[in-house]
Chains A and B, each alone.
Chain A
Amino acid sequence: MNGENKQLTISNPFLPEPARIVRTYYLTEDVKFFQVRVVDMDKALSFKYCPGQFAMISVVGAGEAPFSISSTPSRPGLLEFCIRKVGGVTNALFRMKENDLIGIRGPYGNGFPVERMRDKDILIVVGGLGTAPLRSVLLYCLDNRDQFRRVSLLHGAKRPSEMIFREEFFALKEREDLECHLAVDGDDTGTWTENIGVVTTLFPKLKEIDPSSTYALVCGPPVMYKFVIKEFVKLNIPKDQILMTLERRMKCGVGKCGHCAIDYIYTCLDGPVFTYWDVIHMRELI
């Protein structure tokens, strides 16, 4: 008996869903923004996710890779990603145009515990492409502004030209219900009007916080975590209220292939969002 055309009794979690690129443009020299829509309308609307989750995106012939979702579930229907050109799959994605088809499956991972974060102060610290997953939670907080108390954002980029969502963040600075500080490590344009220095130099600018009711979120390049977490700890934010999203090589997204394993947890199931308390107890986490 040949099983090739056999109907399965269980659904196939590895089967990508066709999705169309609605908009794509460069955010920086090597980072591109993608707005996509799952072709099947029912499936597009049932793609229910939580800020901090990720999706697997595939390009026929090039392969499949995990990407943080940058959009917010409070604006359903369209999914947004910021993607840096680093390998085979991203190279193929960069060649694609609006209206082209890609494959998508997900959402995967735990995401941020937005229920627990309700009625708390939210402090978001991002660096570089770390903006991708945290933009989701930031927009979510702003769209549901009455559900959260103070919301603050510290944003760092290497240079003005490497700042992603520049216009969006400058526009956010105008909002009175958000404390927003922007910095670049160095200004090679001579036109930067905000702070100059690494992201941790923004901490003294923060208005006094109430640490026990603050959730502090961080995402950025690996070197950043250590320094930012030190600042959080200095502010007395409880270790289990410090949240970070970590990059590992999610290959399947559904806890099967093993590539994202750290000790005995699977980043794709138990992460990518971890508390600092988790991290202290996981030998390999950062």
Chain B
Amino acid sequence: MRIIKLKKDNLFPFLEIISEEADLWAPVKKGDKHAFTIIDDLSKIELETTRTIIPPKKIFTPPTFSMFSISDKGYKEDFSHITKKILFGIHPCDIHGLLTLDSFFKQAYLDPYYLEARKNTLILGLSCWPDEYCFAKSTHTHVIEEGFDLFFTDLKDFFLVWIGSSQGDDLIRLKPELFDEGLKDQDIQTYINWQAERDNAYKWNIKFIALPDLMELKYRDPLWEKLGDACLACGSCSNVCPTCNCYNIMDKQFLGGKDGKIIRHWDACTLEEYSEVAGGENFRKKRSDRLKLWYTHKLQAYISKYGKPSCVGCGRCIATCPVDINVRTVGQALLGEKPDAFWARFNKEVTK
């Protein structure tokens, strides 16, 4: 893969030029956190961010969107959420998340709503620095070899830019003079040092390789009841997870002969209604059973099927779950440690 150099000062001029080609999306501040947003003012782009509140999956399958408009004449496909986009500032773990979603949405039947949006979006990755929640090194998703059109590694004074696709190359060609083809030995050394330092910056680590078996061995462990007692069933772990893809459908009807809509919205297996069948029977009435399904999918199933977990180590569940049910504390508990977590302290008997 070709790697070139971009001076720090040249980044915004470059983004300016490419933003004329398509809608530019990038992380901006939202409260104390960050969110991917359509950019109308380049100065709002945040370069030194950790995770956004929700992952970039929202750009490809928005939390709610219309699949069809329906009238007496029947169904009309609605692809209005698909526009040409350039997504800048996406970190390696999130690119891995998209690759996982890709294989899922291509499996058996192609999902046009996701795949078309994907085809219309260029991915401009950006390196990052781990905080106390990140554990992408444990999932080996802190490095990325595919799944981007361009990838920018931020080396303080300059970026190294990986050209991952022909479309990425086309973007460079819009103004090649902003880039520098000749890398000096010193630049390369800077990159080597940065990489070593970054790898050492991960503050914690989890042994994923042990977890599929432990999920099996501890499937009936009282741990799950404890987690189920504390779980708020708020669905946030799924909503913030870069690889969660479940959805539900709603038939929206309007008065006065207006066309109805088939709405597709994000769903979560931790929600009560999720496993209910027609007639009201529920196969996973208990929150503990639903959490088992979630963790089976993250820690066991995907590893058995594809040889890697469907967790990408982004740390969003850790940063989000109010009662500390997340890959870190559940992983620790499966490995026999006693995690410092609200759910571990929670005693439902106290209120009886």
- Which residues in A have some Cβ–Cβ distance to B below 8 Å? 1-4, 6, 8-16, 18, 60-65, 84, 86-87, 89-90, 103, 222, 247-249, 251-252, 254-259, 261, 263-264, 269, 283-284
Contact = CB atoms under 8 A, between A and B. Distances in A.
B247 A248 contact: no
Contacts of B120: 3
- The residue in A65, A251, A269 that gathers the most chain B C-beta atoms within 10 A of its C-beta is A251
B274 A3 contact: no
A251 B248 contact: yes
B245 A249 contact: no
A251 B249 contact: yes
A52 to B, nearest CB: 17
Contacts of B108: 254-255, 269
8 contacts: A3-B80, A3-B120, A6-B116, A8-B77, A10-B115, A14-B68, A259-B246, A284-B289
B100 to A, nearest CB: 13
Given A60-B260, A64-B249, A269-B108, A4 B79 contact: yes
A103 B73 CA distance: 12
A95 to B, nearest CB: 15
Contacts of A249: 275-278
Given A254-B109, A264-B297, A12 B249 contact: no
B70 interface: yes
What's the interface size class on B, roughly?
35 or more
Nearest to A103: B75
Contacts of A255: 107-109
Given A61-B251, A62-B251, A259 B267 contact: yes
Interface stretch (B40-48, B185-193, B194-202, B299-307): B299-307
B78 interface: yes
Given A8-B77, A256-B245, A284-B283, 17 more contacts: A3-B80, A3-B116, A8-B116, A10-B116, A12-B77, A14-B67, A15-B77, A18-B74, A60-B70, A61-B253, A64-B249, A86-B279, A103-B75, A254-B111, A256-B105, A261-B269, A264-B297
Given A60-B260, A251-B249, A13 B277 contact: no
Contacts of A16: 75
Most buried by A among B68, B249, B304: B249
A135 B273 CA distance: 31
A223 to B, nearest CB: 12
Interface string B22-59: 00000000000000000000000000000000000000
Contacts of B74: 18, 60, 103
Contact of B79 (A3, A89, A248, A269): A3
Contact of A3 (B83, B284, B297): B83
Nearest to B105: A256
A264 B82 contact: no
A16, A89, A249, A283: most-surrounded residue (chain B CB, <10 A): A249
